[in-house]
């Protein structure tokens, strides 16, 4: 079973996505193509080591992300809107020092 929102796979017997709260489907793509992801800012990173840790955590959690560098020493990390709460939980659990964006 798959979540049509975030694409997470669940074992048989599950009926709702724990992250999104939507009903699971058997086909991960459903009957139509998945809609394009909307990305929102997660936070600013100014340290290369912190950046490596944060992006590694997002990768391990399967959270879609990208980075936009606005200045040489600062990067803004964006994540898929439907995974923002999960990204915040991942960073909080690891106590990552990221300047988190509020209000998204």
Residue 41 has a pLDDT of: 93
- Pair 93, 78 in one domain: yes
Beta strands in the chain (DSSP E): 39-45, 65-71, 74-80, 99-100
Number of C-beta neighbours around residue 20 at 10 A: 18
Overall domain count for the chain:
2
Q: Give the pLDDT mean for 35-39.
A: 83
Confidence tier at 42 by pLDDT (50, 70, 90): very high
Residue 5 has a pLDDT of: 76
- Pair 91, 58 in one domain: yes
Confidence tier at 81 by pLDDT (50, 70, 90): very high
């Amino acid at each position: 079973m798959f979540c049509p929102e975030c694409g997470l796979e669940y074992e048989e017997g599950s009926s709702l996505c724990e992250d999104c709260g939507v009903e699971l489907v058997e086909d991960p793509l459903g009957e139509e193509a998945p809609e394009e992801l909307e990305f929102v800012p997660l936070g600013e990173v100014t340290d290369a080591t912190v950046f490596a840790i944060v992006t590694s955590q997002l990768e391990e959690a399967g959270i879609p992300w990208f980075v936009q560098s606005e200045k040489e020493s600062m990067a803004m990390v964006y994540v898929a809107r439907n995974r923002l709460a999960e990204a915040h939980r991942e960073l909080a659990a690891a106590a990552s020092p990221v300047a988190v964006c509020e209000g998204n």
